[in-house]
Structures are given as structure tokens and as C-alpha cells.
Amino acid sequence: MIKIGNVAIEKTAALAPMASVADTAYRTVCKKFGACYVVGEMVSVKGLYFSPQKALDLLSITPKERPMAIQLFGSQPKYFEYALPKVLKSKPDIIDINMGCPVPKVVKTLSGCMLMKNPELAEKIAKCVVKNSPVPVTVKIRKGWDENSINAVEFSKRMQNCGISAITIHGRTKTQMYSGKADWEIIAKVKNSLDIPVIANGDVYSPESAKKMYDVTGADLIMVGRGSFGRPWIFSQIASFLKTGRYEPDPSLARRMQIMLEHIRLICDNKGENLGMKQARAQAIKYFRGIKGAARYREICSRLTTFSEIYELVKNISNDCYLNNGGF
């Protein structure tokens, strides 16, 4: 068990914040399978000022998701100060500030990882949020902007001095985006330089790699992002492996398809079938990895418009596999 401020979190694996992925449905499914902590999709503080309804849709929290953080991004302290009362109405357990997003449309607004190039502004934002938040405040960063400007240790110390309760570090630079390998050694250096909890992120795709990340970094907690795509059960596998050194294999095809349908049903319940199915296509595709005929099923998925269509697809997949393999 670790504590971020006054929030107790089991020391297993958390769900990383992922825009257009980690919505309420995704977070709920991952929590069901043992994610110890989840972070929502990042919310623009400027968006809360100029387009409040669109941004407010990202602030919902259900009891099943807790403990949960709402993640904010922006480049001007005044918008953070304006946004906080609106954000706090959702009663988040933690407020997380994104200072690590590498996506161009975020960086060009001087937000996300661009703040690592402007630590003075980052300090002003961190101090503003800490001052105005009754719940713990955390910051998510990267290794640095590029290999010639690795400043994660110095930047993290600045954030700690601002009153931040924990630091999450993804072991890649901004210029790497999501390519190459995450540098776990830089996470270890950040951990060794701080007194507050450090959360490690990057390249956990199995229970074994989760344990290795803990061992190499000494982190207080680890996060799983892309490693959970189409595999929300990875959280229960990690928890089991950390506790016993063993874990259950991936579920059968029948069970995998059942989980996918539950996930997509949640998306449709939350967003309506029309919008929900458009967004569910990308999620459904990920559940077909490793299945015989996956390319054909993914192509069909890209055209789905109703829940009944994906339900029929799952029935056909099940029948195909039963006939070809003599059962599940």
C-alpha cells in the first residue's frame, strides 16, 4: 500500500491516463480486473473556460472507479485557477497535471511536455493548483524533451518543492513519442532524488515486466497504458504475480469475447449507441489480437454501427473457432 497525500492505493498496477481511450467504460473494466488506481482522460483547463460542456463530459467519476484522478492540462495558471472549482465538483481523489504529453496539438499550446522546457511556468502552475486544491496534486512528466535535454530529475525536484504529492514519469522523451524503449534508469534516478512517491510508466506489457519495472526503478507504483489494450485482465495477472509469483493465463476466446462485449456495452450505455459504436470500433479491434482470422474480424469491426452487429460478429467468431478447433 502506498499513500499519495491522504489517498491509500494498493501497490499493484494503475491505469495510465490515455486520451480517447481511458474513458469511463475503459476505466470501469480495468478496475473490475484489478487496476488499483485510474487516471481519466486529460481535460483542457482552457476548454473548461471557453467550451465548458465538452470539457465537463470528461469529468465524470463513478464509485467503481475510485481511487481516481482527473488529469488537467494547460499553460496558464489563471485557467487552472478558474477550472478547479468546476473540476472539484466531481470529487476527484487526486488532481493530476499533465506536463508530459508529446502530442503536437497539445505541445503547440505550450502545454504538456512543452512545460518541461519552461520549468518556471511549470512551477507557477503547480503552485497555483496546490494552493487551490483540497485534494492531493500530482504531476506527470517525461524523461525530457529530447536526448540532449534530459531534465527529469531537476524538474521533479522543482515540482516537489511546489508541494506536489507524487510524480509520474514516462521513461521516454517528447521526441521519442511512443517509439523505442522506455528508459527505466531515469525513473530510478528520479525516485532516488525525491521524498515523495514516484510512479513509473512505460513498457509494461506483462506481469514479468511489471515486476522488473518495480525492481529496476524502485518506484512506489507502476502504471500500465498500451499494455492493457484489449487485455484489461493484465491488472489481475500483475497483482497475482507480485503477490505469489504466479498468474492465470489469458482467458479463453469465449471469455475474451464476453469481456469485449461488456466493455462495448458500457461505452454505448455511457455515450449512446450511435457515438458509442463509432468509438468502440477502435477498442473492439484490440481484443482480436492473436485470434485466427483477426485481420478479417478487424476489417468487419471498422464498419460496425450497432451493438447487435458486434454481438452477431462474436457469435460467428465463436462458431468458427468451435468448428475449426473442436471447441474453446
Task: Give catalytic residue positions.
Answer: 101
Instruction: Retrieve residue 171's grid coordinates.
Output: 521513461
